[in-house]
Copies of this chain bind each other. A is one copy, B any other.
Amino acid sequence: MFIEAPRPTPSPEPEKINGNFKGQDILSMDRFDTYSLDVLFDVTKDMREIAVNAEPCDILKGKQAVLLFYEPSSRTRGSFDAAMKQLGGQTIVVEDPQHFSSVAKGETFEDTIRTFEAYSDLIVLRHPITGSLQKAADIATRVPVINAGDGGQGEHPTQALLDLYTIKEQHGRLDNLTGVIAGDLLFGRTVKSLIRGLSLYPGNTLHLLSPDELRLPRKDFEEFVRRGVRMIEISDPKDIPSNASFWYWTRIQKERRVKNGLTVIRNLAKMFGIKQDMKNPFIVDKKLLDELGGVNTILMHPLPRVGEILEEVDEDPRAVYLKSQIRNGMYVRMALLGLVLGKIDKD
């Protein structure tokens, strides 16, 4: 087992998108400014209409996206696949290329990226090794690259974008919110991308509920505080503030999938002395939500869940993880694809 290089710390001042999505690589939340999020989320509303009406749409007709997934992901791949086709575009799906002849024959990652760049107008990439996304974007200069998951410690920005959209859809704003983020804050990459996004807005307070061994890494904690987020670590659901704007629950990532020797951390549980059978000890049931949730509190989860939210909660109108959250993922990706491919104008 080799230890992967630590995530390259983002340059203090990464260039912002500033609403000019066309041709941009979408690798990190750090590229986003509030104006770009306004643009994206306005377009997302229009995308919602297109999808809901399921009317024929030719916005991306003639455009092709390669969905290159070194780690299969039914959820994320399916969402990008559907988003592209909703807009009349096409996809070339390549899953597990490390099984395919070229890579199996010893082709470098660089040459594989160059090949699929040649076939497409855009690459959506998931890779188990953190940093691969930046590498791919540096190589594929002819087409934009969208990050669909960048290893164990990297980002998964479209998840954060759909989470932010879901919060804004409910509360009409992304500032001055009080949120609860629970579960695996040590390894959960969606959590970090979400906080990074919220850190763009003033007055946000986050209550971090996790077992001691799964606290947010200090480095990240301090970075977010520096960015102006008020962060409060709690250890007991009793300390959940009443009437929070949202609860963001996550499962405990006991391990990163091991595949073709590519994945870098065999077993987080073992490495960090977490009990093999450890699940998120903080379970949301009807009782907890009714006691501590407010009328406007939305209950979110990036999915998949493995028991940390009981099914009895699914029907509660505040539970959005199965309802709007999944659909919003497709709408946000539609908007992103349309903007990055230059077929949707920001105005």
Contacts and interface: CB of A to CB of B under 8 A. Distances in A.
A274 interface: no
A114 B73 contact: no
Interface in A249-277: 251, 257
Contacts of A184: none
A80 to B, nearest CB: 10
A322 interface: yes
Given A72-B101, A73-B100, A107-B305, A64 B92 contact: no
Contact of A306 (B105, B119, B305): B105
Copies of this chain held together in the complex: 3
Interface residues of A, number: 57
Contacts of A306: 105-107
Interface of A: 54-58, 61-64, 66, 71-75, 78-79, 81-82, 85-86, 90, 92-94, 97, 99-107, 110-112, 114-116, 118-121, 251, 257, 303-307, 311, 322, 326-327, 330
16 contacts: A54-B121, A55-B62, A56-B61, A62-B86, A64-B86, A73-B100, A74-B103, A74-B115, A78-B92, A78-B94, A78-B115, A106-B306, A111-B322, A115-B303, A115-B326, A119-B330
